[in-house]
Amino acid sequence: MNLQLLIKRLLDLLGSLVGLTILIIPFLIIAVLIRISKSSVFFKQIRPGKNGEMFSLYKFRTMNELRDENGSLLPDEKRITNIGKLLRKLSLDELPELWNVLKGDMSLVGSRPLLVEYLGRYTPEQARRHEVKPGITGWAQVNGRNAITWEEKFKYDVWYVDNWNLWLDIKIIFMTLVKVIKKEGISQPGHVTMEEFKGNINIMKERFKNWKYPKIEENKLTKYNWMVQHKENLKLGFKTDIGAFTYINAKYGVIIEDYVEIGSHCSIYSASTIDKKKGKVILKKNCKIGSHSVIMPGVTIGENSVIGAFSFVNKDIPPNVVAMGIPVRIKNKDK
């Protein structure tokens, strides 16, 4: 760790400790007000951090869990509580993230931590925002916050990655204080919260518009720069997306179902020369595997599940969960 990064971490520790100490009374008051509104105090959700590594984000809850007759959550404008509106207006809903800063999941300044499902929607350039720890505030927040487009936000995030220094962080913190006092950019015009990021979905649709099964030759890179051994035992689904330099050993069978996304530099083994294990690997429909991950023999990854980058997957993963780590661990779903 270079000196500037060490100082940044020390400032994060100092800032979060001081903040949590002096804000304990406001925290208690806010907690009581939220409970009076018949809602749980904290909102906890899995978010991707630096290099896509997952962590549990904490905020004050500003919305209830009201659902329609089909069990789907109602729109944000119908679920936000009165105390929630006030907390968002004063930017107080973010204060519990000081705990994330203290733990080291986040920094005081960085790119904002967004939803897990956005990971597959970024362009390669936009994904560079994950090269730094996420922050409570950031360069995008002091240059428009939720009043600018997603594309503009991501340009500011990547600019911060390329131009970071301690003085920039200090500048952003002071600019944030001014923005909070002026209550600027809290919401997108016409929306209670920022609308869902869907930008790269259109790119993916265009990319897959004329999708065809790739030509696979034994022990040779495909045109997309990934490789298969024992190609006759690979079953590849429709509109799959496999990143460059991923290696697949299909000796005992590998099934990759429709719409599966696999990041770059992954390794998928149906046979292991280290522990002599063997078994069919199954990646269920619409699951996502983060870059540099390793999938071991006999593993099944459930439908819609997300595996964080740099994970070692040596056990079955159920559907609709987020899992990460070495070895892989299932993270709690949204609470």
Report yes or no: 79 and 64 within 8 Å, Cβ to Cβ: yes
Checking if the pLDDT of 333 tops 50, the result is no
Model confidence at 334, pLDDT cuts 50, 70, 90, reads very low
Q: What is the pLDDT of residues 139-149, one digit of tens each?
A: 999 998 777 88
User: Mind spelling out the 3-state secondary structure of 37-66?
Assistant: CCCCCEEEEEEECHHHCEEEEEEECCECCC
* DSSP of 125-142: TGGGGGGS-BEEE-TTGG
Report yes or no: 187 and 123 within 8 Å, Cβ to Cβ: no
228 CB-contact burial (10 Å; exposed 0-12 / middle 13-18 / buried 19+): buried
What's 271's DSSP letter?
A: B
Write down the pLDDT at residue 20: 95
Checking if the pLDDT of 117 tops 80, the result is no
Q: What percent of the chain has pLDDT over 90?
A: 54
Tokens of 162: 């390329």
Q: Which fold has domain 211-335?
A: UDP N-Acetylglucosamine Acyltransferase; domain 1 (2.160.10)
Number of neighbouring beta carbons within 10 Å of residue 200? 18
Report yes or no: 282 and 303 within 8 Å, Cβ to Cβ: no
What's 193's DSSP letter?
A: S
Q: Report the helix count and the strand count for the chain, using DSSP H and E.
A: 8, 19
Q: What is the mean pLDDT of the chain?
A: 87
Tokens of 331: 């993270």
Checking if the pLDDT of 68 tops 80, the result is no
Q: What percent of the chain has pLDDT over 70?
A: 91
User: Omega of the bond prior to 48 within 30 degrees of 0, cis?
Assistant: no
Q: What is the pLDDT of residues 267-298, one digit of tens each?
A: 999 998 877 899 999 999 999 998 899 999 99
Domain boundaries, the chain: 3-202, 211-335
Report yes or no: 146 and 185 within 8 Å, Cβ to Cβ: yes
The end-to-end CA distance of the chain, in Å, is 34
Strand partners, 48: 54
Checking if the pLDDT of 335 tops 60, the result is no
Q: Indicate the pTM of the whole model.
A: 0.67
Tokens of 298: 């006999």
Report yes or no: 101 and 113 within 8 Å, Cβ to Cβ: no
- Better pLDDT: 185 or 134: 134
Model confidence at 51, pLDDT cuts 50, 70, 90, reads confident
Tokens of 243: 């990143």
Q: What is the pLDDT of residues 21-42, one digit of tens each?
A: 999 999 999 999 999 887 789 9
- Better pLDDT: 137 or 190: 137
Number of neighbouring beta carbons within 10 Å of residue 237? 16
For CA atoms 26, 31, 34, 35, the dihedral sign is: negative
Write down the pLDDT at residue 184: 64
Mean pLDDT of 244-250: 94
Q: What is the pLDDT of residues 164-220, one digit of tens each?
A: 999 999 999 999 988 888 776 555 555 556 778 876 555 566 666 778 889 999 999
Instruction: Please provide the size of the chain in residues.
Output: 335
Checking if the pLDDT of 162 tops 50, the result is yes
Model confidence at 134, pLDDT cuts 50, 70, 90, reads very high
